[in-house]
Structure 1
Amino acid sequence: MKVTLRIARVELSTLFFSPIAWLVLIVFTFQTGLTFVDKLKLYAGYQEMGSRLSFITSAIFGGPLGLFSEIQRNVYLYIPLLTMGLMSRELSSGSIKLLLSSPVKTREIILGKYLAMMVYCLLLIAILAIFAVAGMYSIQSFDMLYITSGLLGIYLLICAYAAIGLFMSSLTAYQVVAAVSTLVVLAALNYVGLLWQDVNFVRDLTYFLSISGRADQMRDGLIISKDLCYFVLVITLFLGLSIMLLQSGREAKPLWVKIARYSLLTVTVLMLGYISSRPGLALYADMTATKTRTLTATSQQIIKQLKEPLKVTTYVNLMDDFWHMGIPKSRNKDVNFWQPYQRFMPDMKINYVYYYDTSMAEWLYKGNKGVSLDTLAKRMAKARELSLKMFMPPAEIRKIIDLRPEENRFVRCLEYNGKRSFLREYAGEMDPNPGEAEVLAAIKRLVVTPPKIGFLTGNNERAIDKVGDKDYKGSTAELSYRKSLVNQGFDVTALSLEEGDVPEDIAVLVIADPKKTLPPAVSERIIRYIDRGGNMLIAGEPGRQEVLNPLLNKLGVQLKEGILLHESRDFSPDLVMGYITTAAAATSGNYKNFWTDSVKMSMISSVGVQYTQSDFKVTEILATDSSKSWNKTGQLNQDTGYVQFDPSTGDVKATTPIAVSLTRQTKGKEQRIMVLGDADFMSAPELNRYNIRVGNFFFMFEMFKWLSYDEYPVDVSRPKAPDSKILIAKEDVTILRIILLVLLPAVLFISAVALLIRRKRR
């Protein structure tokens, strides 16, 4: 050990008596400081403009656009300059012969030189730590553990690069050749994970060899044992190869012995890497302040209910727009999608099935009119460089599973204990993959009977199978829409009461804007459903008072006569904003958040709700703004231009309830009913409204969550980020810029000049 330390000390002296080491430090400091200061200034500007910030630590340092990611992309350019002379200098000067003829062991030579590089790498990390300290004094509740994880990841990455550089330096006496060779090898290891991904065995091998992205998890606050093992094994491999290469200069061994040694070391490292990467052996440490890299406690509780392995089968349709996400070339990327869940389900079984059938890709059929499905499949397979033999034809796949109800989309089928649920991709989004809420909703459906929501039909109500502006398919049954109820765990069905009572399996009955008077038999069946304690959502519109009020009378609720109007210079007066009431905020944490943040819901063409004493406890959920809204009775003529509040016509501004909840204890449970004076709030135009910031989606989710006794949607909400404020003004960043980009590099430069002059004088 003493010899190793002595060699390391000599190598460090040689390194720092060279301008290269100092130049790398100065350039690294300036480049890192420039990125850090620019990002800090950017977010300080956002804050001064009134933007709400969150997770500032990860926004500046982590993620694919943060400071650490910038270092990951550039640091491989520095390492060859530092490692090119480690052994090449000894080989070119002939001093290697003295080392080999001395009693110094080969491993002591290699480990000593590598230890010197590890110390130098620590200096680079120390510079990063200076920026972390600057962040600590610039960001409220700075997440230091998150930064520690990122620094560890970058340090291991640099050390791995250094081990590779040391090995390449051992191969040649020319330092420039060693530097260029190191760059080539590092580039190869960064891109090898993209090669031969369509070949099963080779795919896993090249993916393991790839160093690209290995530090990403640690960069983003999650330390995984398999990543630590990877870096340790890579360092061990190249140090071992360096030792063997140097040792061969001392021994006269046959070629086959040398090859056998290299092969044994390489195979051993690969085997250990494969074993350490098994999900069941992986250990995790979430270093983020709010545990954002770990599934929520709610999700973990759902997964704990699984007593058998979860089977996931991904069905890939050659004709679907998402075909590329599941083909062999993308297999490893798709498997990584499941990594957060495999942490808690290490025995999960993942399979892939390939087929071709009709799809929802309209562009495909427009360009191939009159072409048979089989011929089109051949064309697509050829164009995408795939073998058609791997894809089952329609008749064959339907013997296994009929995916026509899923519109033959790219879909993941989850199976457990004889039950199935589906995970879908969501078109039109930057990341079409399901999130934690959707995944856990699908898993929960396997262990808990999902609530079935019945939408009344037969009286011109809002339909769940139409995509019109007034209909509900987008919010209820659209498979490709992330926020639709079917993708949040619910079952939805159209329900006619012409023939019989509400089925027992209906958890919530929805009556949305019937335009015809309900037949007496239907009304009686609805009343029987109410009497047996069934939950309901009743939504009306102006002009529907006579249709719904007879039914609502049993609940002690009525829709007021007239229409609600709202003063606005830009919008139609019948676009009313509904705000969460204080009473509602006291009943729900999410309602309280809406109330605190003054979130409003858009209610186009709505009526007020009034109530009297009844068996139900009534809570006002949404109400209008008393300073801008009023109830208009009589005829409303909007063709005359801007409709204004006119007290002379009897208009009176007042707070008017738009949505109320009704509860009572009956049949051993709490009956829950929601009555709204608007049915458009969950139609496509209001859910996708872009010209006003509204919370209709969140309100819809919260409403159905309440009606289903908090079963669905799955609550994956997390605590608010503590690092949500920049502590310095934008102007103060200029001072920080001078310190980090001028003074700090200047100190390094002066230190370098002083040391080099001192050496020259000696």
Structure 2
Amino acid sequence: MLIENDSSFSGFHGGLSKSIFTESIYPRVFQHLYLFFPLLTMAIISKEKVAGTIRLLHSSPLKMRDVLLGKYLSLLVFALILVIIVGVFVVYGTFSISNVDWGYLVPSLLAMFLMSACYIAIGMYFSSLTVYPVISALATFLTLFILGNISSLWQQYDFFREFTFFLSIAGRAEKMILGLITSYDLVYYLSICILFLLLTWLRMQRSIESKPWSVTLLRHLVVIIPILFAGYLSMKPSIRYYIDVTTNKDNTIKAKSQQIISDLPKEKPLKATLYVNLFSRYYDRASPANRNEYVWGFWEKYVRFRPDIKFDYVYYYDVKDGDSTLFKNYKGKSLEEIALLQLEGRGNKSDFDRFISPDSIRKLGDYQDEYAMPFMTLESTGKSAIIRTFPDDTYWPDEMHVSSALRRLQQEHAPKLLFTTGNLERNIYKLGEREYYKHTIDRLFRLSLINFAYDVDSINLDTQEIPEGIKILAVADPKTELSSSKIAKIKKFADKGGNVALFGEPDKQMILNPLLDSLYTGVTLLPGRLIEVTYDEMPDHVIPLNIPSELVAIVPEPFPSIVEAIQKKTKIDSAGLYRKVVGATAMNYDQDNSEYAIRTLSQTQANRNTFLKRGIVVLDSLPPLFEPDRGDIKQPNFDVWLTLSKKVDDKTQRVSIHGDADVGSTLRVNPIWDLLPMYSWMTDNLFPVFITKDKRNDIFLNLTATTAGIQKIVMLYILPGLLLLFSIVFLIRRNRQ
């Protein structure tokens, strides 16, 4: 209906194969398996004992293993029939979804069959223990409940954590439902089936032979220990194998990240150390009890390509110098006493020995700025990098953060960025809405530069020299005149090939223009303020367009959909490319008087009736009028963001000039569309390591309203009716025989 009634409809979000099957049909099916098979198997052997037919089986020429396998295989056939019934929906899905992703459909059927096989084996064992079917069913339910929740028991103890995680059945099917088949999951299902079948066979053998208890115990140990050991061994990183059958390899890190990991020297170990402060936010997510979430939930996709990653853990308790919050809440208590009280409140007082003291953690490094959240250090080739957790629902860092940190380990120097101070510029250490703290050094903001392996600091060029190794020098909205010595230092830095980022604002153009002239850019910030009169917004809220072809020319990685559209010469969706600026100045350039190649990355559009207003602009009154006799300028396009580049010796020197310094402010920052591409361009597109999602093709239904109605009738009435009719005929014919 959406396709028929909305011509602008561009497809369903996220892919229909996953949303219909993985997130809807399959979870409900697996919930019913848990209830169904214990009831199905509760009398499979016990009824033979109650009816006395077990004696006939013992006296028959059949061996006990033949009887056992016969019953098991018959139930597997029944499970296969259930899988086929669910497979009918898969068949319908392939015809109903355009470009269906088989990786989300077929592996789930395999998971359903394997889980059914496990449930049957467990149910048969308990059916062999008692003559009461109800007790058998309850024992099976209880065992499945224990296997599903055992991974949450005793997780603060290292031995129990690994052992219970291996035994847990929870999460095994989820990987297959998501299209990832792993060797250790297959081994687990196979081990559980074999284990309980052998235990059932031992139990049935006991009914026909008399052996001492020691022999019985030895037999059980010979069965249990090797099978559990084989299953445990299969989880070792070096012998794990993975098959990601989804079309876009959604369960696998991108090829770029794989290449970065493979480029790390194999002879140099990669060490990941998790630092957890007892007093930090979200401590519980990184506590010893949740280590499996850290190792298996977060790191597994990287361990898959680097099995020799060594994990270390540092648990500590400390507060930043000058932070007295805890001492006010726990009056008269020392830091050690407060730590003991908090652990006692969590029921983990015995864990105190894991935690090192404030003196010990400070000997390991100056991490006071990291105390607020758990963080990790990566170490290899004598270098280190920090990746952080974040106070949001995702919590763990993204692939972009990890890959950027890994790439930093490979570089001779980390990307270093300095912001000038001394002229009332935007400040990277202040939290105000106009300042630059958030997008530069805010450790709790996912898109800040510091979380993408940048080193960011400030410098006062009136008193300091620009040190060697600086990749980018930024001048952000100075409010007082730049001294000649400061301009000379910036020019010297640029002449040596250093990259410069300039951020301007209306009414301060005369401050940056001398610097632009000294760099021979050919660019001039025009006096005045850009005005765009609309019904909804303030007049200085201007919405220029980030030009797609120019944007991907300097850094294509974050914008694969734009690159594809340009290559195919198709229409580009402008959503996200229009970037609101508040209080912007325009600029023009003379290519003949510039040493640089100049690109316009963002400019106003002719259809938005934008003009450049000279003089004083009153924003909280009537909308400003266009007055050409007072110097106001109206033209189809005003440039808002320019990039310049030229060759300096053996490298490319780059300059970025933006007409709105608020683009990086705490209030209006949205780094993904402008700041991160700009900084990436200035670091030779090495940082950050952009990771983008592949375009999904299964976003349309091949259905009309009529077809959907027919399918509903077939699935709800005709197929169940045929199944019921077949069952009736089958039972009648069986009773007659």
TM-score (norm 2): 0.92
Q: For residues 639-678 of structure 1, what are the structure 2 equivalents within 5 Å?
A: 639-643=620-624, 650=632, 652-678=634-660
- Counterpart of 2:578 in structure 1 is 600
- The amino acid across from 1:344 in the alignment is F
Per-residue CA distance 1:44-70 (angstroms, 9 max, x = gap): 9999976652322112222xx432223
1:627 aligns with one of 607, 624, 643? 607
Q: Give how far 1:499 is off.
A: 3.2
**Number of residue pairs the alignment of both structures matches:** 712
- Paired residues of 1:54 and 1:721 also in contact (CA < 8 A): yes
- Counterpart of 1:617 in structure 2 is 597
Whether 1:109 aligns to 2:70 is no
- The amino acid across from 1:579 in the alignment is L
Q: Give how far 1:174 is off.
A: 2.2
Whether 1:532 aligns to 2:496 is yes
- Distance in 2 between residues matched to 1:630 and 1:562, nearest whole Å: 10
Per-residue CA distance 1:201-248 (angstroms, 9 max, x = gap): 122222211111111111111111011100000101001101111111
Per-residue CA distance 1:107-136 (angstroms, 9 max, x = gap): 111111111111111111112211111111
- Distance in 2 between residues matched to 1:644 and 1:70, nearest whole Å: 62
- Counterpart of 1:37 in structure 2 is none
1:686 aligned counterpart, secondary structure? coil
- Counterpart of 2:253 in structure 1 is 295
Structure 1: state its 5+ residue gaps.
Answer: 1-40, 688-694
- Distance in 1 between residues matched to 2:57 and 2:2, nearest whole Å: 54
- Counterpart of 1:224 in structure 2 is 182
- Counterpart of 1:483 in structure 2 is 447
- Distance in 1 between residues matched to 2:249 and 2:105, nearest whole Å: 14
2:663 aligns with one of 657, 681, 698? 681
Structure 2: state its 5+ residue gaps.
Answer: 567-571
- Paired residues of 1:559 and 1:610 also in contact (CA < 8 A): yes
Whether 1:717 aligns to 2:679 is no
- Distance in 1 between residues matched to 2:13 and 2:276, nearest whole Å: 39
Worse-matched range after superposition: 485-494 or 739-748: 739-748
- Counterpart of 2:18 in structure 1 is 58
- Counterpart of 1:320 in structure 2 is 280
- Counterpart of 2:126 in structure 1 is 168
Q: In structure 2, do the counterparts of structure 1 residues 52 and 104 end up closer, same or farther at CA, with 3 Å as the change threshold? A: closer
2:579 aligned counterpart, secondary structure? strand
Q: For residues 414-453 of structure 1, what are the structure 2 equivalents within 5 Å?
A: 414-427=378-391, 429-448=392-411, 449-453=413-417
- Distance in 1 between residues matched to 2:38 and 2:165, nearest whole Å: 24
1:277 aligned counterpart, secondary structure? coil
Whether 1:565 aligns to 2:531 is yes
Q: For residues 743-762 of structure 1, what are the structure 2 equivalents within 5 Å?
A: 743-762=718-737
- Distance in 2 between residues matched to 1:118 and 1:355, nearest whole Å: 52
- Counterpart of 2:569 in structure 1 is none
- The amino acid across from 1:678 in the alignment is D
2:376 aligned counterpart, secondary structure? strand
1:556 aligns with one of 489, 499, 522? 522
Q: Give how far 1:603 is off.
A: 1.1
- Counterpart of 2:158 in structure 1 is 200
Q: Give how far 1:699 is off.
A: 2.0
Worse-matched range after superposition: 208-217 or 580-589: 580-589
- Paired residues of 1:154 and 1:219 also in contact (CA < 8 A): no
- Paired residues of 2:320 and 2:368 also in contact (CA < 8 A): no
Q: For residues 188-267 of structure 1, what are the structure 2 equivalents within 5 Å?
A: 188-267=146-225
- Distance in 2 between residues matched to 1:231 and 1:238, nearest whole Å: 11
- Paired residues of 2:416 and 2:456 also in contact (CA < 8 A): yes
- Distance in 2 between residues matched to 1:525 and 1:648, nearest whole Å: 41
- The amino acid across from 2:615 in the alignment is G
Q: In structure 2, do the counterparts of structure 1 residues 757 and 103 end up closer, same or farther at CA, with 3 Å as the change threshold? A: closer
1:130 aligned counterpart, secondary structure? helix
Q: In structure 2, do the counterparts of structure 1 residues 645 and 375 end up closer, same or farther at CA, with 3 Å as the change threshold? A: farther
2:210 aligned counterpart, secondary structure? coil
Q: For residues 87-126 of structure 1, what are the structure 2 equivalents within 5 Å?
A: 87-126=45-84
Q: Give how far 1:636 is off.
A: 1.0
Q: For residues 274-423 of structure 1, what are the structure 2 equivalents within 5 Å?
A: 274-307=232-265, 308-336=268-296, 337-358=298-319, 367-368=329-330, 371-387=333-349, 388-407=352-371, 409-423=373-387
Per-residue CA distance 1:490-535 (angstroms, 9 max, x = gap): 1111122123442221101111111111111000111111211211
Q: Give how far 1:643 is off.
A: 4.2
- Counterpart of 1:14 in structure 2 is none
Q: In structure 2, do the counterparts of structure 1 residues 456 and 509 end up closer, same or farther at CA, with 3 Å as the change threshold? A: same
TM-score (norm 1): 0.89
- Distance in 2 between residues matched to 1:437 and 1:491, nearest whole Å: 16
Q: Give how far 1:644 is off.
A: 5.8
- Distance in 2 between residues matched to 1:187 and 1:377, nearest whole Å: 35
1:273 aligns with one of 231, 242, 249? 231
1:77 aligns with one of 2, 25, 35? 35
Q: In structure 2, do the counterparts of structure 1 residues 513 and 585 end up closer, same or farther at CA, with 3 Å as the change threshold? A: closer
- Distance in 1 between residues matched to 2:123 and 2:629, nearest whole Å: 87
Q: In structure 2, do the counterparts of structure 1 residues 731 and 501 end up closer, same or farther at CA, with 3 Å as the change threshold? A: farther
- Distance in 1 between residues matched to 2:732 and 2:324, nearest whole Å: 73
Q: In structure 2, do the counterparts of structure 1 residues 437 and 534 end up closer, same or farther at CA, with 3 Å as the change threshold? A: same
Q: Give how far 1:606 is off.
A: 0.4
- The amino acid across from 1:60 in the alignment is I
Q: In structure 2, do the counterparts of structure 1 residues 392 and 696 end up closer, same or farther at CA, with 3 Å as the change threshold? A: closer
Q: In structure 2, do the counterparts of structure 1 residues 199 and 696 end up closer, same or farther at CA, with 3 Å as the change threshold? A: closer
- Distance in 2 between residues matched to 1:262 and 1:583, nearest whole Å: 70
- Distance in 2 between residues matched to 1:201 and 1:582, nearest whole Å: 55
- Distance in 1 between residues matched to 2:357 and 2:247, nearest whole Å: 50
Whether 1:129 aligns to 2:87 is yes
- Distance in 1 between residues matched to 2:316 and 2:96, nearest whole Å: 54
- Distance in 1 between residues matched to 2:77 and 2:231, nearest whole Å: 26
| Matched-pair identity in % | 34
- Distance in 2 between residues matched to 1:225 and 1:583, nearest whole Å: 45
- Distance in 1 between residues matched to 2:302 and 2:346, nearest whole Å: 31
2:677 aligned counterpart, secondary structure? helix
Q: Give how far 1:447 is off.
A: 1.6
- Paired residues of 2:617 and 2:624 also in contact (CA < 8 A): no
Q: In structure 2, do the counterparts of structure 1 residues 369 and 660 end up closer, same or farther at CA, with 3 Å as the change threshold? A: farther
Q: In structure 2, do the counterparts of structure 1 residues 367 and 380 end up closer, same or farther at CA, with 3 Å as the change threshold? A: same
Whether 1:159 aligns to 2:159 is no
- Distance in 2 between residues matched to 1:516 and 1:259, nearest whole Å: 87
Q: In structure 2, do the counterparts of structure 1 residues 525 and 231 end up closer, same or farther at CA, with 3 Å as the change threshold? A: same
- The amino acid across from 2:447 in the alignment is K
Q: In structure 2, do the counterparts of structure 1 residues 509 and 44 end up closer, same or farther at CA, with 3 Å as the change threshold? A: farther
- Distance in 2 between residues matched to 1:219 and 1:464, nearest whole Å: 45
Per-residue CA distance 1:405-450 (angstroms, 9 max, x = gap): 32353111212132221111111x2111001111111222112132
1:685 aligned counterpart, secondary structure? coil
- Distance in 1 between residues matched to 2:683 and 2:3, nearest whole Å: 40
User: Higher RCO, 1 or 2 (CA under 8 Å, sep at least 6)?
Assistant: 1
2:100 aligned counterpart, secondary structure? coil
Q: Give how far 1:568 is off.
A: 2.4
2:181 aligned counterpart, secondary structure? strand
Worse-matched range after superposition: 161-170 or 588-597: 588-597
- Distance in 2 between residues matched to 1:315 and 1:717, nearest whole Å: 29
- Distance in 2 between residues matched to 1:744 and 1:130, nearest whole Å: 10
- Distance in 1 between residues matched to 2:549 and 2:168, nearest whole Å: 57
